[in-house]
Amino acid sequence: MLEILSLIRQDGDPEWCRSVPNWDRGPWLETLLGYRRARGNARPRIISSHLPVQMFPKAFFSSKAKVL
């Protein structure tokens, strides 16, 4: 899924996917390092997580974020 979303974000150009590691393209929200990387990434951001939906912040549900 991360590869597909990365290609969509870059208008189908695979060079970004080849040159940027997946932990920089879609950092994990549940780690401190991933959270810091996600905040520093350009918008629109791709963020990965394995957290159950009940553990997401309440602000998430009133945002424009998309969940796949």
pLDDT digits 0-9 by tens, 12-48: 999 999 999 999 999 998 899 999 999 999 888 999 9
Position 60 confidence tier, pLDDT thresholds 50, 70, 90: confident
Residue 28 located in a structural domain: yes
Choose the catalytic residue: 18, 43, 50, 58: 50
Residue 66 located in a structural domain: no
Side chain identity, residue 44? P
Residue 68 located in a structural domain: no
What residues make up the domain containing 12?
A: 1-58
Number of domains in the chain: 1
Q: Is the pLDDT of residue 7 over 90?
A: yes
Residue 50 annotated as catalytic = yes
Sequence-distant (6+) residues with CB within 8 A of 8 are none
Residue 9 located in a structural domain: yes
Residue 53 located in a structural domain: yes
Residue 11 located in a structural domain: yes
